[in-house]
Amino acid sequence: MKIYTEIIGNLDDPAWRERAEGAEIETIDLDQWTAQKSRFVVRSDRDNEYAVALKRHSQLLGGDIIDYRPAERRIVAIRIALSDVLVIELGELATQAPEQIIHTAVELGHAIGNQHWPAVVKGTRVYVPLTVDRKVMESVMRTHHIEGISFSFQPGREVIPYLAPHEIRRLFGGTGPDSDVHHHHHHPEEHPREHVHAD
């Protein structure tokens, strides 16, 4: 069985978008946990089996291409199903007195920490992955009823563009010694990616 070790492009890149027009796109569906692994064997939507063993420090993203067969006009691409993310907005606190800001921040930290939820803080927002059922998380937030904050659930793919690779891994793949990963394409003709995208 052939082992795929490189990400050769992404369907979002203009050059690959052009090649994909009229081509058959074979899709490999991964959940967000499998997408964090560098080695796995998986079946595509055409029931073909693929063994993937990516090089160190590579990170799969939605739309990534692992195989291209020009003669057959076939592209094999990755599709990642991301969970929703709890987004807590703290922007309203900016108008509060410093003591109130500290009080609210500690209260929120206690509420999240007590549940052992991982979190990423970015600007005035706190992003928390769905580690339990959405209704349970909503119930916890309403029970604590912390003044001056608001929260909502947003699709993972909408949150990803605002995050760095290590933050994406924290939200969608847990943490670990190899959590600070980067996305590398090894084809010089492709333009470097300016944004991160997942389906």
Residues of the chain whose pLDDT is less than 70?
173-199
Could you write out the DSSP letters of every residue in 176-194?
-TT-S-------TTSPPPS
pLDDT score at 173: 65
pLDDT score at 62: 86
pLDDT score at 105: 93
State the Cα–Cα distance between residues 170 and 81, nearest whole angstrom.
Answer: 16
Please give the model's pTM, rounded to 2 decimal places. 0.58
State the Cα–Cα distance between residues 1 and 182, nearest whole angstrom.
Answer: 27
pLDDT score at 115: 92
pLDDT score at 102: 94
- What's the sign of the alpha-carbon dihedral 138, 180, 185, 161? positive
* Domains of the chain with CATH codes: 3-81 (2.60.260.20), 84-162 (3.30.70)
From residue 181, how far is each of 32, 55, 61, 68, 77 by CA, in Å? 15, 11, 12, 25, 20
